[in-house]
Structure 1
Amino acid sequence: MMCLYMTLFISQVLGMTNILNAAEILAVSPIPGTSHWNVMSSVLEILMDRGHKITVVSAFPRKIPHENYTNIDISNLVHISVAEPWEKVIGVFQPPVSCLHFLNDIHQKICQIIYSLPEFQRILSTKRFDVVITELLGSRCDLYLGNYLNIPQIAIVSSQMLTWYQESFDNPANPSYITPLHISYPKSETFIHRLLSTINYLTINISFKYYDNRATEIGRMFFGENKPDAETLLRNVSIVFLNTHSSYDLPKPLANNFKEIGGIHLKPLKPLPNDLQKIIDEAEHGVIYFNLGSVTRMHDLPTNIQNGFKEGFAELPQKVLWKYESDTPMTGQPKNVFTRKWLPQYDIIRHPNVKLFISHGGNSGVIEAISAGIPVLGFPLFFDQPRNLELFKYWGSGLLLDYKNFTKQIFLEKVKEIINNHKFKKNAMELSRKFHDRPISPQDTVVYWTEYVMRHNGAHHLKSNAINTLWYQYFLIDILGTIVIILFITISIFFFIKKKCF
């Protein structure tokens, strides 16, 4: 009994200590995309559960108010990236440089919108914060917050590490064996692969430096002409949380201040709605789940692709759950297809009777599929989606479709191959086991390292000294040059002496 009282007392003391040490955290979510917010909000919710107080600027207000959560809502000031026309998805989002330009432009505009808000300026001038959390994506313009407030800055990457930021953290990104984010193949196996990786790496890095010149101008416009340039502030970031995990993304070196939190947004299994539960339970041949995310609407796909999907599904014995956003019923909807505007994706694909997930390859959906141990048929469209889905092919747990060469016959062949060949399910389950086998959960990783940064005044000791090394020193150009000069002088003296003596 005494032990029980002592345990309760210690628990209460620890709980009080947690509250007394609660930090004030400022968070800015500069990209109005649902998948990006899923990662950012998961991080913030975990820190709030820990007892920290959150002030966040975002386009996604919290549905349930909380005393430790203050939201500055910008949803009426920005365009949320959903339901974009097919022409924009393929013409703007898909080409790497064009996509980067688009992201950079959006990110910079939102920085200016946020910095101009009187409510935001009032909070900056009246509230004391301990750490600021932002997202790395299209621009470095939001990195001025940590410098202005004189507090550590933490960055979140909602995908695998972005190629155009790697060198700033001295995180190895040698294209000879590490493929850039916009390259579809995950591993360079030929000379052509290495050549294309190198060209992509150089092009995307040069383009980013050019497009993001204005980040420094924006920062100095709002926070003072004496502020450092954006690249210097990027190198000052304390910790980078990556929404990925080395169990499925091919192993690569990570800087010491990079921490993997892939799976941070995953939630415990919840009961399915009765109608969905009935459909899945009663599917004699199993269920196929089909979702192409929020950026592309199904009814905006080219007619030949829509018809190919519908006609192909009609020939399959499985039932199909199709996320279809239109307000009007689907024309020619097969009897075995059931549509909803929204579906609880992660809960559905964990049901044992769901045989296949057809996905566009968004990073969050990829992680959900890996966690659930379900085979994937990929239909990639833009950004990191081709590379994400190629990983399923690499590990033997999925196949890919190409929208440029899409036909009903190719679609049917690949669906049947995955469902009828048990190796895909076996490999998917093995991938899932590796993903879950880790010494510390993503949630605990976020809490520990966020508090570590605050305890150690930014934890700058974690960062490599190379970030402050000049490029010619980094590549030993000065050393090699010195060696060449010494050799040249030595050889010259030798021949001079030889000439004089003989």
Structure 2
Amino acid sequence: MTRIYWLLFGLISRLNAAEILAVSPIAAASHWNVMSSVLEALVARGHKITVVSPFPRKTPHENYTHVDISKYVPFAIAQPWDKVIGVFKPPTACLKFLNENQQHTCETTYNLPEFRQVLQSKRFDVVITELLASRCDLYLASHLGIPQVTIMSSQMLTWYQDYFDSPSIPSYLTPLNSPYPKPETFFQRFWSLVDYSSISLYFKHIDSGATQMGRKYFGDDQPDAEALLRNVSIVFMNTHSSFDLHKPMATNFVEVGGIHLKPQKPLPIDIQKVIDNAEHGVIYFNLGSVTRMQDMPIHIQNAIKEGVAELPQTILWKFETDEPMDGQPKNVFTKKWFPQYDVIRHPNVKLFITHGGNSGTIEAISAGVPVLGFPLYFDQPRNLKLFEYWGSGLYVDYSNFTKEDFVHKIKRIISDQKFKENAVQLSRRFHDRPSSPQDLVVYWMEYVLRHGGAHHLKSHAVDTPWMQYFMLDFMGLAAVAILSLSYFFYSVFMFFKKSSFLLKYKNE
């Protein structure tokens, strides 16, 4: 009986399978991990996916068609230190870099013969793209006349917030690039307002090319890119309010933070042996794929090596070269790659030293491991300050980095049990939810398919002119009425005052 049920279920799933077109905006593994996890949940449900990306699927699947653009787009890995700090760290410079890369991906995709053949040969039901730094890929859904679903691989991107009536209120919320999770002082509130305003206006300026590109490839009758953004049905966000401070969000925003997390697998034998034999526990050290340790300033490299050499713990250090580490401490074990999420879930891992990328942040929260943050650019400082806010980690600044401060904070986190207790509590909150991220993705995607979009979920504010949204027309009319009445009463008063003065003068 059970077998018959599953056969019927599989048959129904195939009959109702949707044709989904997905486009990845940038060749960055952290972004792809989120999008691919969304797509895999839909493939597992029986839907058919055609995806344009630089990341081919490792194993073929009958419901998964890949259009490979890996030869045409630059990968965001192993970048020079000067570029990381000079381009990725300043908010406007980083936004410009991302915008240029995404527009390059759009241009590459739209010019690719294989892609144009896909558009001509298949009839799609919905388009999935990632909201990053341009709206150029939103023209696909507009051209095909089908619903648009988007993904944010990070927390809320500041420059998109108001388009969905999810306002960023600088009095208690901070922009994504802020170095603190919430403004506590007058000057922090002031800079939140400045950052929010400047990055939002700058985005409008640099992404003007999105409209031009859409009309170039899909016709002059295509709408402005801002109108397309307001036409998005659902936004899947790679975050969760259990750790990110709650903010007002539109109804069509769905939190799927942790969708990229996989069930635990056995560790490779050599790594398992090192962790099991670490008498004083293990510290896992990984600063991501964009920056290589050997590219960091020498004084920071030396301070880190000298610092960890003083510790009794064993250090698992992601070191991205085949060359041996110069002056490698005896308690350091290096590899070019570690199964990070499996490593930090091992009970003998006492601390995770991380740059604070959004995916790694979620992995640390899920694993319930304390964190020492070493942020480098953009959203990383805010991500890591959240650990300080919840009492499950601390933070070091590369710009005034010292061995003493580095070692002191490591010892403080490991010796004070409160950090571990808070990390475990944060993990419990993160996992305490009614549905898995995968189930949420499947439900809401099929909701969009069932209803031909989800425009009824969106706030009416997205179509309200800004003067009406802020009631400036009413306040302007009220101001004119008050001024008019004030002038009227002033004129009456002056008339009677003058009449009284003339009458008194005549009587005298």
TM-score range, shorter chain: over 0.9
6, 30, 41: which one pairs with 1:46?
A: 41
Could you tell me how far 1:493 is from its partner in structure 2?
Answer: 4.6
Give the TM-score, by structure 2 length: 0.96
Could you tell me how far 1:397 is from its partner in structure 2?
Answer: 0.4
Alignment of 1:150-165 (within 5 A): 150-165=145-160
Could you report, residue by residue, the CA deviation over 1:163-199 in whole angstroms, capped at 9, with x for unpaired residues? 0001111112111111000111101111000100011
Instruction: Report the Cα distance in structure 1 between the residues aligned to 2:489 and 2:12, rounded to whole angstroms.
Output: 74
Aligned to 1:82: 77
Per the alignment, in what secondary structure is the counterpart of residue 296 of structure 1?
Answer: coil
Alignment of 1:290-305 (within 5 A): 290-305=285-300
Aligned to 1:428: 423
TM-align CA RMSD: 1.3
Alignment of 1:11-410 (within 5 A): 11-410=6-405
Stretch of structure 1 that moved more, 482-491 or 241-250: 482-491
Aligned to 2:467: 472
Instruction: Report the Cα distance in structure 2 between the residues aligned to 1:8 and 1:329, rounded to whole angstroms.
Output: 55
Instruction: Report the Cα distance in structure 1 between the residues aligned to 2:130 and 2:6, rounded to whole angstroms.
Output: 35
Amino acid at match of 1:107: Q
Per the alignment, in what secondary structure is the counterpart of residue 366 of structure 2?
Answer: helix
Instruction: Report the Cα distance in structure 2 between the residues aligned to 1:164 and 1:471, rounded to whole angstroms.
Output: 16
Per the alignment, in what secondary structure is the counterpart of residue 394 of structure 2?
Answer: strand
Per the alignment, in what secondary structure is the counterpart of residue 50 of structure 2?
Answer: strand
Structure 1 gap ranges (5+): none
Instruction: Report the Cα distance in structure 1 between the residues aligned to 2:249 and 2:62, rounded to whole angstroms.
Output: 37
Could you report, residue by residue, the CA deviation over 1:392-448 in whole angstroms, capped at 9, with x for unpaired residues? 001000001110111111111010000001010000000000000111111111000
Instruction: Report the Cα distance in structure 2 between the residues aligned to 1:480 and 1:88, rounded to whole angstroms.
Output: 47
Could you report, residue by residue, the CA deviation over 1:84-110 in whole angstroms, capped at 9, with x for unpaired residues? 000100011000111111111111111
Amino acid at match of 1:461: H
Instruction: Report the Cα distance in structure 1 between the residues aligned to 2:454 and 2:157, rounded to whole angstroms.
Output: 22
Is residue 462 of structure 1 aligned with residue 463 of structure 2? no
Amino acid at match of 2:137: D
Give the TM-score, by structure 1 length: 0.97
Could you tell me how far 1:497 is from its partner in structure 2?
Answer: 5.8
Amino acid at match of 1:215: A
Structure 2 gap ranges (5+): 501-508
Q: Which has the larger radius of gyration?
A: 2
Amino acid at match of 1:205: S
**2:73–2:104: 8 Å Cα contact kept in structure 1?**
no
Could you tell me how far 1:58 is from its partner in structure 2?
Answer: 0.3
Aligned length: 497
Per the alignment, in what secondary structure is the counterpart of residue 299 of structure 1?
Answer: helix
Per the alignment, in what secondary structure is the counterpart of residue 49 of structure 2?
Answer: strand
Amino acid at match of 1:334: P
Amino acid at match of 1:303: I
Per the alignment, in what secondary structure is the counterpart of residue 44 of structure 1?
Answer: helix
Instruction: Report the Cα distance in structure 1 between the residues aligned to 2:258 and 2:297, rounded to whole angstroms.
Output: 33
Could you report, residue by residue, the CA deviation over 1:145-176 in whole angstroms, capped at 9, with x for unpaired residues? 00001010111010001000011111121111
Could you tell me how far 1:237 is from its partner in structure 2?
Answer: 0.7
Per the alignment, in what secondary structure is the counterpart of residue 96 of structure 2?
Answer: helix
Could you tell me how far 1:496 is from its partner in structure 2?
Answer: 5.5
Per the alignment, in what secondary structure is the counterpart of residue 272 of structure 2?
Answer: helix
Could you report, residue by residue, the CA deviation over 1:180-233 in whole angstroms, capped at 9, with x for unpaired residues? 001111011110001000110111011111100100011111000110011110
Per the alignment, in what secondary structure is the counterpart of residue 124 of structure 2?
Answer: coil
Per the alignment, in what secondary structure is the counterpart of residue 120 of structure 2?
Answer: helix
Instruction: Report the Cα distance in structure 2 between the residues aligned to 1:161 and 1:461, rounded to whole angstroms.
Output: 22
Instruction: Report the Cα distance in structure 2 between the residues aligned to 1:267 and 1:201, rounded to whole angstroms.
Output: 35
Could you tell me how far 1:495 is from its partner in structure 2?
Answer: 5.2
Stretch of structure 1 that moved more, 269-278 or 10-19: 10-19
Per the alignment, in what secondary structure is the counterpart of residue 330 of structure 2?
Answer: coil
Instruction: Report the Cα distance in structure 1 between the residues aligned to 2:200 and 2:487, rounded to whole angstroms.
Output: 42
Aligned to 1:485: 480
State the percentage of identical aligned residues: 65
Amino acid at match of 1:483: A
Could you tell me how far 1:126 is from its partner in structure 2?
Answer: 1.7
